[in-house]
Amino acid sequence: MRMIFVCIVAAITSISMLLAGCTNPNKPVGMAVEFNAHATSAYTALEKGWYAEEGLSFTAHESYVTGMALASSLARGDIGVAYMCLVPAITAYANAGVDLKIIAGTHKDGYGLAVNPDKIKAVDDLQNPGIRIASVQPGGAVDVVLNKTIDYFELDKKKVLDNTLRMNPARALISIQSGQVDAVFLPEQWSSMAEEHGFEMLLESKDVWPGLQGGVLVVKQELINSSPETIKALLKVDSKTVDWINSNPEEASQILSSAMQGTIKQEKPTDSAFETAAGFDYSPEVMLRAINRINFSPAIEISGVQEVIDYLEELDYIRSSFPAEEIMDLSFLLAD
């Protein structure tokens, strides 16, 4: 396993000359991904060597347990490419002023509500006194799914949020193991992993928000300006990888499992939440279940992004709504 990880790191280290923009090969530009199944395409392309085949290389590859932690990293100059959830991408742009652009989708759906079946029989039970719900901090993607669930089932928002404990996905799994929570709103693979600890999937995000744009491929505007050829190469690799994952989910689950285990073995993980992520079994079987619950696709609709932007304003997670076109550059995607 260690050898696999070393090989992946070696491949990553050879990648950033072009991502730096080709015009300045010495400028360090890195890639950031979320430490979950949503980034299966990035992990797969690295393992298969498809970035290198297109002449792409990264100086750094950083994994984050939450999308919000990843979004914070985008403010740094050395992160130029990110595979991340749409919600934190929007908040990074709207609230932190990060000059980024969404150049493609990566997946739709991919979030779930898993529950202790002895405590929760129906979604209405989330508002019962004494029920303990785990979710990420307000403004995260699964927190948005939590709020949409409240709206969809017309639950008492105060009661549900009063029952909600805020923690990262790895901490939520630990809380399941110790019997401290009765329900968890989590992204994949974490929600599928909850099933390994006796929880049952009560609903998926597609049940309350059909076609929700979950993940996006994001780049800094600076990279678009300095190296449009890099953007074209990124999209070419991503499209190839998504097609391969959809045709080879079993092998993709093996790659994802190895990538998860390898990332955990980093001596100096970027995200301190990795301390709580260690010790879990990221088995291929569970990763396959997670992959099958995600709709991987580079396709993305402006209307779908706008719907998320408007809902974030409704939740007061961004100061005001704005046209989705501001944060999107689909010219390279449509050119294909």
Mean residue pLDDT of the chain comes to 87
Q: Tokens standing for 264?
A: 């955990």
Residues 185 and 277 in one domain: no
125 and 242, same domain (yes or no): no
User: Residue 309: pLDDT above 80?
Assistant: yes
Q: Which of 208, 228, 255 delimits the end of a domain?
A: 208
Q: Which residue has the higher pLDDT, 230 or 105?
A: 105
Q: Report residue 306 as tokens.
A: 């706008």
Q: Do 190 and 138 share a domain, yes or no?
A: yes
- CA distances to 36, 45, 82, 90 from 39, rounded to whole Å, are 6, 10, 10, 18
- Considering the domain architecture, whether residues 118 and 142 belong to the same structural domain is answered as yes
Average pLDDT rounded to a whole number, residues 191-196: 96
Name the DSSP class of 328: B
Which of 149, 181, 208 is where one domain is finished?
208
Residue type, 266: Q
277 confidence band (pLDDT: 50, 70, 90)? confident
Backbone angles phi, psi at 99, to 5 degrees: -85, 80
Asked if pLDDT for residue 41 goes beyond 60, the answer is yes
In tens, the pLDDT along 279-288 reads: 788 999 999 9
Whether 74 and 185 map to the same domain: the answer is: no
Task: Give me the pLDDT at residue 335, please.
Answer: 76
Same domain, 10 and 155: no
Provide the domain limits for residue 63: 2-109+211-335
Query: For tokens 């300095």, what's the residue?
Result: 226
Percent of the chain with pLDDT over 70: 86
Q: Given this model, what pLDDT does residue 65 score? A: 76
Answer with the one of 167, 187, 208 that is the final residue of a domain.
208
Q: Give 242 or 59, the one with higher predicted confidence.
A: 242
Same domain, 144 and 179: yes
**Per-residue pLDDT tens over the stretch 222-250:** 999 998 998 999 999 999 999 999 999 99
163 and 15, same structural domain?
A: no
What digits encode the pLDDT tens for the residues 68-101?
778 877 877 778 999 999 999 999 999 999 999 9
The pTM assigned to this predicted structure is: 0.87
3-state percent breakdown (helix, strand, coil) of the chain, nearest 5 = 50, 20, 30
Q: For the chain, how many structural domains are there in total?
A: 2
Query: Which residues, other chains included, contact 327 with Cβ-Cβ below 8 Å and sequence gap of 6+?
Result: 89, 90, 93, 100, 101, 102, 305, 309
Q: Please calculate the CA angle 227-231-234 and round it to the nearest 5 degrees.
A: 135
User: CA 197, CA 174: separation in Å to the nearest integer?
Assistant: 10
125-178: per-residue pLDDT in tens? Answer: 999 999 999 999 999 999 999 999 999 999 999 999 999 999 999 999 999 999
User: Tell me, what's the pLDDT at 94?
Assistant: 96
- Distances in whole angstroms, Cα of residue 281 to Cα of each of 143, 173, 257: 25, 11, 9
Task: Please calculate the CA angle 85-89-90 and round it to the nearest 5 degrees.
Answer: 120
Q: How confident is the model at residue 67 (pLDDT cuts 50, 70, 90)?
A: confident
CA distances from 63 to 88, 270, 309 (A): 15, 7, 25
pLDDT (0 to 100) of residue 109: 96
Residues 188, 125 share a domain: yes
Whether residue 322 sits in one domain with residue 233: yes
CATH (domain of 199)? 3.40.190.10
Residue found by looking up tokens 């780049």 in the block = 219
Tell whether 216 and 80 lie within a shared domain. yes
Residues 175 and 280 in one domain: no
